[in-house]
Amino acid sequence: MPAREYDMARRSVVVERTRERLIRAARDQFTDRRYADVTLVEIADAAGVTVQTLLNHFGSKEGMLTAAAEVLGTDVDELRGHVEPGDIDGAIAALMRQYEHLGDVNWWFVADSERVPSMVPLLDGARAHQRSWLRETFEPFVPTEEAVRDEVLAALFAAADVGTWKLLRRDLGYTPEATAAVLRRLIVGAWAQGAP
């Protein structure tokens, strides 16, 4: 390989590693504190780069948030793991794993979205992912009739929402076990007949 091609390849690796460090640092900062409390200086310092390097890669704090949110989406999938369709207890355990690790962050995003417009499409994507997961996971219990199906899926969405977890765990002080039990009642109650 000629020296120039080698240098370009090496530079590409360095650039990609810098991006990865920045994204990890941003994820850590945004999961520790609310959006307004995180600074670009802190993210850059945690990644071992300058603020200008951060801006060269992501353009702004909002750009950094968008990149970090993609990683958080992967974290959610890993925390949930695989759940067989119809496995209610497995689904509740998956939701509890996610919310116990990232529920506060999820709720901060919801609360901050009124002041940070770039969070709105991130939340819309997360909600679409949640709806899809619920549809697949609870497919055996969801009616096929369209009008009833939409109502049941909406009830499941409300029962499994991070706001429900936050109400139970943070506002009412329920234990994780008690929260899981209430989520089970709500989820099973989302369909009128045929619940296991």
**pLDDT at residue 110, as a whole number:** 94
Cα distance between residue 50 and residue 150, in whole Å:
49
**Residue of 84, 110, 128 whose CA lies nearest to 165:** 110
| CA–CA dist 194, 101 (Å, integer) | 32
Mean pLDDT of the 116-138 span: 95
Res 182: pLDDT: 98
Give the pLDDT score at 82.
97
| DSSP states of 67-107 | HHHHHHHHHHHHHH----TT-HHHHHHHHHHHHHHHHHHHH
**Domains in the chain, ordered, with CATH?**
1-67 (1.10.10.60), 81-196 (no CATH)
Q: What is the band of 4 on the pLDDT scale with cuts at 50, 70, 90? A: low
* pTM metric for this prediction: 0.85
Question: DSSP characters for 97-149?
Answer: HHHHHHHHHHHHHHHHTTT-TTHHHHHHHHHHHHHHHHHHHTGGGS-SSHHHH
pLDDT tier for residue 113 given thresholds of 50, 70 and 90: very high
Q: What is the arithmetic mean of pLDDT over 24-31?
A: 96
* Residue 58, helix vs strand vs coil: helix
Q: Average pLDDT of 161-176?
A: 98
pLDDT tier, 94 (very low <50, low <70, confident <90, very high otherwise): very high
Of 188, 185, 189, the closest CA to residue 168 belongs to: 185
Measure the CA–CA gap between 48 and 187, rounded to whole angstroms.
45
| Per-residue pLDDT at 194 | 42
**pLDDT tens-digit readout, 29-82:** 999 999 999 999 999 999 999 999 999 999 999 999 999 999 999 999 999 999
